[in-house]
C-alpha cells in the first residue's frame, strides 16, 4: 500500500521519538539509505561515506561485497521489499553501462536499466520512501555531445536535447523518463536525476588517447571539460537526497567545474592548448616538466552551474586542484577514489576499458 508523504513523515517522527531526545535534536526525521549497486565504484563510495557519517545504510547488489547487505537483483520485487525495509532515501546507482555495450545483449540493458529502475521506483513508492536519487550519465546526451566537423565545441547544460548514440544512453534516458513520471504522478515525493560525467579509474576507452597520452595526463586533461572525482559525485548524491523535498523532479549535470565559458567554444575546437595557456599560465611549467600535453582540441564542455546553484554543491576537484595534487607528489584522485580503486566491469577480460583492470604497484605509488 502506498503511504502518503505526511504519513511517512509522521512515521519518521514516531521513530525519532522512540529513539529519544538526542535523535530528535540531531535529526527531526530518522533517515535510512538504500544504495543500489553497492559492490560497484560509486555504490561502494556512497556506502563508505554514509557509514563514516554514522547514517543507517543498506547496500543492494547482485554481487556480494563488504558494502552489500542484500545480495540480489533490482529486477526482483522480493529482493527490493527486503532491501527497502525502513528505508527513507534510495540512491540508485545499479546499472549495466558503457563497458557492457560490447559484452551484453540490448535486452539485458532494458531488463536492468529500464525494468530494474521501474521496479525500484514502484517499490520505493510502496515503501513510503521520501526521495530517490537516480544516477544517470552524460552519455545519455549521446550524439548531441559531438559538434559537426569545423563547428565550435558544444556547451552542454541540462537543457540540451539528447540524441541517442547507443543502448546504454537509450536505456538511461528511458529510466530518467520513468523517474520523471513517478515524481509527476506523485507516487514518490521527489526524484532527482544526476547526469554524471566520467569518473572511472580504468584506462581511457579511446585507442588514440591511450596511444598518445600518459594515463594520468589524459585524466587530468579531462578535468577541464568532462571528468569528475568520485568524492564530488558522492557529495552531489548526498546533497540531492538532502534537498530533494524542495526540488520535486530535477535533473543536474555532475562534472568538475570547468574554467571555460561559452566564448571559448570556437577556439577550443581549433586550439585548446592556447585557451588553457591563457587561463593557467602558472601551470604550463608543470606540464612541460612532466612531458604532458593538453589535448589539441575539445569537442564538448559540461556546465555544472545548475547543480552548484540549486544543490549548493561545491566540487573540490577541478583542473587546478588535480594538477596541484600531482605537483605535491600525490595522485590526482581523492582519497575516497583511491580507497575504492579500480574494480573492472567483467568477471573475464573483455577489452581494454572493461578488463577487470587493477592498478599496478607503480601506478598506486604515483
Ligand atoms: N563509471 C563512470 O565513469 C560513470 C560515468 C557516468 C555515469 N556513471 C553512472 O554511475 C553509476 C555507477 O557507475 P559505476 O562505475 O560505479 O558502475 P559499476 O559497474 O562499478 O557498479 C554498478 C553495480 O551495479 C551492479 N548491478 C548490475 N546489475 C544489477 C542488478 N540487476 N541488480 C543489482 N545490482 C546490479 C553491478 O554488480 C555493479 O556492482 C551508474 O549508474 C553509471 O551509469 C558512471
User: In percent, how much of the chain has pLDDT > 90?
Assistant: 76
Q: What confidence score (pLDDT) does residue 40 get?
A: 96
Question: From the CA of 138, how far away is ligand 1's center (Å)?
Answer: 14
Q: What confidence score (pLDDT) does residue 109 get?
A: 96
196 lines ligand 1 (CB under 6 A): yes
Q: What confidence score (pLDDT) does residue 347 get?
A: 66
Q: In this structure, which residue's CA is closest to atom 39 in ligand 1?
A: 40
Q: What confidence score (pLDDT) does residue 350 get?
A: 58
Mean local confidence (pLDDT), 172-184 = 94
Per-residue DSSP letters for 152-164?
PPEEE-TTSPPB-
Q: In this structure, which residue's CA is closest to atom 27 in ligand 1?
A: 95
pLDDT in tens, 266-295: 999 999 999 999 999 999 999 999 999 999
Look up cell 517499490; give the residue: 123
Count how many domains the chain has: 1
- Cα(227)–Cα(212) distance, integer angstroms: 19
Question: From the CA of 90, how far away is ligand 1's center (Å)?
Answer: 15
Question: From the CA of 85, how far away is ligand 1's center (Å)?
Answer: 22
- Cα(286)–Cα(343) distance, integer angstroms: 30
Question: From the CA of 189, how far away is ligand 1's center (Å)?
Answer: 25
Q: What confidence score (pLDDT) does residue 18 get?
A: 35
Identify whether 12 is part of a domain: no
Identify whether 193 is part of a domain: yes
Torsion over CA of 131, 38, 233 and 332, rounded to 10 degrees? 170
- Which position has the higher pLDDT, 76 or 3? 76
Q: How confident is the model at residue 200 (pLDDT cuts 50, 70, 90)?
A: very high
**Nearest Cα residue to 132 out of 168, 97, 182, 83:** 182
Q: What confidence score (pLDDT) does residue 248 get?
A: 84
The verdict on pTM exceeding 0.75 is yes
Separate counts of helices (H) and strands (E) for the chain: 16, 9
75 lines ligand 1 (CB under 6 A): yes
Q: In this structure, which residue's CA is closest to atom 23 in ligand 1?
A: 37
Identify whether 262 is part of a domain: yes
Identify whether 226 is part of a domain: yes
Per-residue DSSP letters for 203-252?
PPS-HHHHHHS-HHHHHHHHTTTTB--HHHHHHHHHHHHHHHHHHSSEEE
Domain that holds residue 256: 31-365
Residue 356 predicted with pLDDT over 60: no
Identify whether 1 is part of a domain: no
pLDDT in tens, 4-18: 333 333 333 333 333
Question: From the CA of 186, how far away is ligand 1's center (Å)?
Answer: 27
Q: Which atom of ligand 1 is nearest to the CA of 74?
A: 32
- Cα(161)–Cα(140) distance, integer angstroms: 10
Question: From the CA of 40, how far away is ligand 1's center (Å)?
Answer: 6
Our mutation pick for probing the ligand 1 site, out of 58, 66, 94, 141, counting the most ligand atoms within 8 A of Cβ, is 94
Cβ contacts of 4 within 8 Å, gap of 6 or more: none
Write phi, then psi, for 265 (nearest 5 degrees).
-60, -40
> How many angstroms separate the Cα of 85 from the Cα of each of 17, 63, 65, 110, 358?
19, 20, 20, 26, 35
Q: What confidence score (pLDDT) does residue 244 get?
A: 85
132 class by beta-carbon count within 10 Å (0-12 exposed, 13-18 middle, 19+ buried): buried
pLDDT in tens, 308-327: 999 999 999 999 999 999 99
- CATH number, residue 210: 3.40.50.720
Q: How confident is the model at residue 344 (pLDDT cuts 50, 70, 90)?
A: confident
> How many angstroms separate the Cα of 242 from the Cα of each of 48, 110, 127, 136, 298?
17, 30, 19, 18, 35
Q: What confidence score (pLDDT) does residue 25 get?
A: 36
Q: What confidence score (pLDDT) does residue 54 get?
A: 97
Identify whether 17 is part of a domain: no
Work out the mean pLDDT of the chain and round it to a whole number: 88
Question: From the CA of 61, how far away is ligand 1's center (Å)?
Answer: 10
At 4, list the grid cell: 502518503
Q: In this structure, which residue's CA is closest to atom 36 in ligand 1?
A: 37
**Nearest Cα residue to 254 out of 339, 204, 196:** 196
Identify whether 261 is part of a domain: yes
- Cα(354)–Cα(348) distance, integer angstroms: 9
Question: From the CA of 154, how far away is ligand 1's center (Å)?
Answer: 27
Which helix (H) or strand (E) segment holds residue 266: the answer is helix 265-279
Q: How confident is the model at residue 214 (pLDDT cuts 50, 70, 90)?
A: very high
- Cα(277)–Cα(363) distance, integer angstroms: 28
Q: What angle in degrees, to the nearest 10, is found between the helix axes of 41-53 and 230-247? A: 70
Identify whether 5 is part of a domain: no
Our mutation pick for probing the ligand 1 site, out of 97, 107, 203, 240, counting the most ligand atoms within 8 A of Cβ, is 97
Per DSSP, 301 falls in state E
Question: From the CA of 339, how far away is ligand 1's center (Å)?
Answer: 17
Q: Which atom of ligand 1 is nearest to the CA of 38?
A: 39
Amino acid at each position: 500500500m502506498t503511504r502518503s508523504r505526511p504519513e511517512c513523515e509522521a512515521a519518521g517522527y514516531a521513530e525519532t521519538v522512540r529513539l529519544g531526545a538526542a535523535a530528535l535534536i540531531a535529526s527531526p526525521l530518522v533517515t535510512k539509505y538504500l544504495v543500489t549497486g553497492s559492490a560497484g565504484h560509486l555504490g561502494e563510495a556512497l556506502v563508505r561515506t554514509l557509514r563514516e557519517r554514522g547514517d543507517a545504510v543498506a547496500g543492494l547488489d547482485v554481487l556480494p561485497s563488504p558494502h552489500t547487505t542484500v545480495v540480489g537483483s533490482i529486477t526482483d520485487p522480493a529482493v527490493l521489499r527486503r532491501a527497502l525495509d525502513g528505508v527513507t532515501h534510495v540512491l540508485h546507482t545499479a546499472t549495466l553501462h558503457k563497458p557492457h555495450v560490447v559484452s551484453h545483449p540490448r535486452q539485458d540493458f532494458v531488463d536492468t536499466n529500464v525494468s530494474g529502475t521501474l521496479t525500484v521506483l514502484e517499490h520505493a513508492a510502496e515503501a513510503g520512501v521520501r526521495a530517490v536519487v537516480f544516477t544517470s550519465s552524460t552519455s545519455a546526451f549521446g550524439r548531441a555531445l559531438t559538434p559537426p566537423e569545423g563547428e565550435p565545441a558544444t556547451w552542454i547544460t541540462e537543457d540540451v536535447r539528447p540524441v541517442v548514440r547507443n543502448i546504454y544512453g537509450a536505456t538511461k534516458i528511458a529510466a530518467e523518463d520513468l523517474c520523471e513520471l513517478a515524481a509527476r504522478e506523485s507516487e514518490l515525493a521527489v526524484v532527482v536525476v544526476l547526469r554524471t560525467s566520467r569518473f572511472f579509474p580504468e584506462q581511457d576507452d579511446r585507442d588514440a588517447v591511450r596511444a598518445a597520452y600518459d594515463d594520468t595526463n589524459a585524466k587530468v586533461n579531462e578535468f577541464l571539460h568532462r571528468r569528475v572525482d568520485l568524492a564530488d559525485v558522492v557529495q552531489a548524491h548526498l546533497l540531492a537526497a538532502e534537498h530533494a523535498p524542495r526540488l520535486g523532479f530535477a535533473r543536474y549535470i555532475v562534472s568538475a567545474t570547468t574554467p571555460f565559458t561559452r566564448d571559448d567554444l570556437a577556439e577550443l575546437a581549433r586550439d585548446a592548448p592556447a585557451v588553457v595557456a591563457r587561463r593557467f599560465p602558472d601551470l604550463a611549467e608543470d606540464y612541460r616538466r612532466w612531458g604532458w600535453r593538453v589535448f589539441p582540441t575539445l569537442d564538448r564542455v559540461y556546465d555544472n552551474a545548475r547543480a552548484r546553484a540549486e544543490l549548493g554543491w561545491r566540487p573540490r576537484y577541478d583542473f587546478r586542484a588535480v594538477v596541484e595534487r600531482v605537483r605535491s607528489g600525490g595522485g590526482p584522485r581523492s582519497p575516497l577514489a583511491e580507497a575504492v580503486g579500480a574494480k573492472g566491469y567483467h568477471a573475464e577480460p573483455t577489452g581494454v576499458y572493461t578488463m577487470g583492470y587493477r592498478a599496478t604497484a607503480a601506478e598506486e605509488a604515483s
